[in-house]
Structure 1
Amino acid sequence: MSQLDPQQRLAARQAILSHPDAQDCTVYRPDDNDPDAEERDLGDAKILFTGSFQPPQEWDARQRDEYCGDSAPELFMTAAIECEAKPSSAAYFSAEIGDYVATMPGLGEVVMFYVHDCVDADNGRSYVLIRDDESLD
């Protein structure tokens, strides 16, 4: 695997942070040792939704079913997530598989997502998220 180009990575990060369609979000990490514990608030980030997840053409029905598990395929979204803290600071983080992302698309509504998968590339990390369709009321 090739090393990520730091200049390309920095440019991709800035593009997400300054994108007019990027939304504010907060990333939370569950405690692996205590599933009943409160998730840890990692901090604020920007999220840019890039569309509905489309499984690779070469996947057969079994592979698609295994990837989606018990979740409906229409709940899967792709996105880019960038921490607002500077990469060299103690507050900096990268979202990981298993984290939760809280967004507020408008009017005080909170929409939760679960980080299902991610892939690193020179233009940043691409995430596959599952929308939590349960109401927070």
Structure 2
Amino acid sequence: SIVRRQPFPGRGLAIRMVGEVTKPRLEILQKADLVVRREVAAAGIEQDMWQWFAVLPGVQSVGVMGDQRTYQEAVVVRAVTSDDGMTADWARIPHDVLQRIASALVSEVAGVNRVLYDITSKPPGTIEWE
């Protein structure tokens, strides 16, 4: 419903991308955000949170996929609870849901090999990364 609709960042999805905005990185972020939203919806926990989304922090990480060493993007999952957006607490997403999100991100989004979960409240942090 319109009441539960999440705000979209004013400067667009690029606000959730730290560092250089390129078409390949934007595609990774778009796919990652879709995965996060899909898994949260599948778990039926949207009503427990105020906002939830993926962030591309501009950090690459060494990993292993199959028998190959990789050096790819990390994705941060950000989810918060709030009444008004002036303050926010990190959302306690169940571990099994976080596991499904992480597994889907690294298996479905080419270019991602690590998933992090942001547990910073506002303040001292902000809801968005940029």
Give your verdict on TM over 0.5: no
Greater share of helix: 2
The structure with the largest alpha-carbon Rg is 1
Q: TM-score range by the shorter chain?
A: 0.3 to 0.5
Q: Normalized against structure 1, the TM-score is what?
A: 0.31
Greater share of strand: 1
